Structure 1
Amino acid sequence: FRIHAEFQLNEPPNFPFWFSPGQFTGYIVLSKDSSHVRDFRLLVPNNSLDLYPVLEPRRGLGAGPRQPVPLQMELESTGPSVPSVIHDEDGKVLDSRDPSGEPIHFVFEEITWQQQIPWQEAAHRLEVAMYPFKKVSYLPFTEAFERAQAEKKLVHSILLWAKPPVPLPVPGSGRTLRETVLESSPILALLNESFISSWSLVKELEELQSNRENELHSKLAKLHLEKYNFPVEMIICLPNGTVIHHINANYFLDITSMKPEDVESSIFSFSTNFEDPSTATYLQFLKEGLHRAKPYLQP
């Protein structure tokens, strides 16, 4: 099912503070005959929630600053629902709710689960099914470099100005990337084979850069921020943080919307092997990064 919800978190005389969740999550357990609900839980994930307060427009005020706010918004059943009508295997009515509203005296069988998976794994499977780009693991910034060092791979990093409303690597102009190149089979295959991927926020890297307790992490963040241009920058770098290739999302979308004969740069020329110019160009971007890194990754 699909839900669109909006919550008013303030009351007069305070300014309006509207909250529109970008995601609900939870689960529902139905009986085999779908006659009743055994268990139900619906919630707004509260990990790293960022809210934009929308201030009073009649007073000339616009959107307020982004604010991280801890929320607990959850609905959970306290027990199984009771069916209003009970049918037998042939569909005949065995019992029904009393006209006075008294529920049917119903005995629920105990559920014995024969197999189960952890909640995190279930959520990951659902994410991959809904968002194919999640077939590539996007690691935290510093963890990505540690993994790249251990596996002798390049880091494919996406640096964003702001966090998207759902767990995606790119918002805004990058949404086109997520829905095209980052979920295309050739890109997924190459990223999984030759790169360690990560996505980060500018604010996070600025904090990491200013933290002098870990000079290595500070240096990695500094090298990234030096190449960043608003709103999204795709970066390829060595395990030591050296940037060997990068491209801005807006520029990428601009050149892939042009006719092939109008593209001057040989670095981002089109290939005839793919119908989608975005996929072809991003694939060439990744391959160019691998080519430039060869002298540094030789055993």
Structure 2
Amino acid sequence: MPDVGRMAQAVLDSVGTVVVGKQDALELVLAGILAGGHVLLEDLPGLGKTLTARSFAQALGLDFRRLQFTPDLLPADVTGSFLYDQSKADFTFRAGPVFTNLLLADEINRTPPKTQAALLEAMQEKQVSVEGVTYRLDAPFHVLATANPIEYEGTYPLPEAQLDRFLLRVSFGYPDREQEWDILRRRISRQREETELEPVVDAATLLAMQAALETVVVEDSIGRYIVELTAATRENASVLVGASPRGSLALLLLARAKAVLAGRDYVIPEDVKGVAVPALAHRITLRPEMWLRRVDPSFVVEEVLASTPAPASGALPTYAAGF
């Protein structure tokens, strides 16, 4: 486990040389990848979302494709399609950009729901069905999608079912003045626009790191704490629809990843608290009157965190004791 933590930290350090001053957000993105999930990067334009995805692909040694979502994009442009091959007098399948290790779905909310839905099967089942034929996607497979949270003209908001497929939602925010000057300084010294990172690990090593997360110990009281947090989102007065059990699973997986990033092989309550907002806020639907009051779902998760007592137990997990 310490080896996994060291390799993960090396990946973060590498990406941090390009994406400046966003250590916490980068750690969340890497936690999502280590947990085997997909990440929604929701923030204003120009804050490094695309650069983050490209940098992680380079540092992790993954095959990378970028797909710009537009209003006229068709499902076949995502998954691929059958084309007639005159030399063989038959139809052959031409794979779409989804056949990669890390897909950047840029501005995913700019394409119609039918095309957005083309990603659903790939994200959940790690496979694509075209004309009744199913094609498996090679592991690892991750989607990093970007969305602009304030520009709604000509956009199609992601439905709850698709939002739920993202393990977590991450925002970067504006850099402070020193960080912004650091960005300019690095650009001046680089003397070119593009950034290139040497691979720190490769796809096979990433799969091994992901498998190692399954051995991270989650004590029973921590597991129940996760369930209590998720259940509390359903009972909050501001919430119309709370987080599903998939939210509990997201908390479990991300808390394990946070523990590994901290060099531990066991989860503590702080790991759960650190991922609660990015894991649960996008799974909550507020009551209509809350929109008028400009209540944000993240406020609800923070309320739940403040009102749910955290455990303080050193007992062994029941599954570790052989139950």
TM-score range relative to shorter protein = under 0.3
Larger radius of gyration: 1
> Which structure features the higher share of strand residues?
1
Greater RCO (Cα-Cα under 8 Å, separation 6 or more): 2
How does the TM-score come out when normalised to structure 1?
A: 0.25
Q: Greater helix percent: which structure?
A: 2
The TM-score normalised by the length of structure 2 is 0.24
